[in-house]
Structure 1
Amino acid sequence: MSAERSARIAALNDRFRAACGLPVAPPVPGRYLMTSGVAALSVRFQLAALERVRSFDVFDEDNDPYGEHDFGVVELDGVRDKLFWKIDYFADATMTYGAEDPSDAEASYRVLTVLLANEY
């Protein structure tokens, strides 16, 4: 994958992630999900988790080897496990097939999932 393509994907992912949990339509087609483990925690925790996901900017070779900004790990007080977030790419909102080109916002549908590390 070219560095230019990875940079386009990263920019789309950053724009998409920046709206996670906010009462606005995603700026890039997609949806936001949380696992049952995260949903079982307090609303206060969920809001704090979404804020951490939105503001995450610690990308490195370990968590972002392809430079797409599609995965991150955050820690929050009161939870034993780390919290992961992951962006997957689908062809459309049916989420039946993977996207052929996630660097094209019109030809891809993003799903950002927030989960506890032990749910990965």
Structure 2
Amino acid sequence: MDRTERIAALNDQLRRDHNRGKVVITRGIQALGHQAILEVLAAVAAFSDFTPDNDPYAEHDCAVMNVGDHRIIWKIDYYDPNLNFASDDPANPAVTIRVLTIMLADEY
């Protein structure tokens, strides 16, 4: 598995299982209520429609999607283990903490 494939696999794992990182939802997502939050999380976990247009670096790190009546953006960022700086190597989980942020499109 090459570096890009490893990053994509780690990103997919975070989206699906919420493992090896943190998941953050914005106030807008929170305001949708419990059931809608569950639906958004499930939709983000199931997302697989990656194309060269929406995933130009093939890292599976961002998407815009519709969940019900809501336009959702999710993005994965890579930080050092102390969450102070960008990770030196997003392909290496020993030196990277992933943060998945899920927001309403109008919050961006």
Higher strand proportion (structure 1 or 2) = 2
**Which residue is 2:68 aligned to?**
77
Partner letter of residue 74 of structure 2? W
**Which residue is 2:87 aligned to?**
99
How far apart are 1:73 and its partner, in Å? 1.8
Q: Give the Cα separation in 2 of the matches to 1:10 and 1:53.
A: 14
**Which residue is 1:89 aligned to?**
78
Please, which runs of 5 or more residues in structure 2 have no aligned partner?
Answer: none
Q: Give the Cα separation in 2 of the matches to 1:47 and 1:74.
A: 15
User: Residue 17 of structure 1 is aligned with which of 15, 18, 28?
Assistant: 15
**Which residue is 1:23 aligned to?**
none
Q: Give the Cα separation in 1 of the matches to 2:16 and 2:67.
A: 19
Q: What is the DSSP-based 3-state SS (H/G/I as helix, E as strand, rest coil) of the residue aligned with 1:52?
A: helix
Pair 1:56-2:47 in alignment: yes
How far apart are 1:78 and its partner, in Å? 3.3
**Which residue is 1:5 aligned to?**
3
| Number of corresponding residues | 108
How far apart are 1:61 and its partner, in Å? 1.4
| CA root-mean-square deviation | 1.3
The percentage of counterpart residues that share the same residue type is: 40
Q: Give the Cα separation in 2 of the matches to 1:78 and 1:61.
A: 26
Give CA-to-partner distance per residue, 1:4-53, whole Å, 9 cap, x none: 21111001111111114xxxxx1x2x110001111111111100000000
**Which residue is 1:113 aligned to?**
101
Q: Give the Cα separation in 2 of the matches to 1:95 and 1:102.
A: 13
Q: Give the Cα separation in 2 of the matches to 1:44 and 1:74.
A: 18
Partner letter of residue 17 of structure 2? A
Please, which runs of 5 or more residues in structure 1 have no aligned partner?
Answer: 21-25
Partner letter of residue 115 of structure 1? M
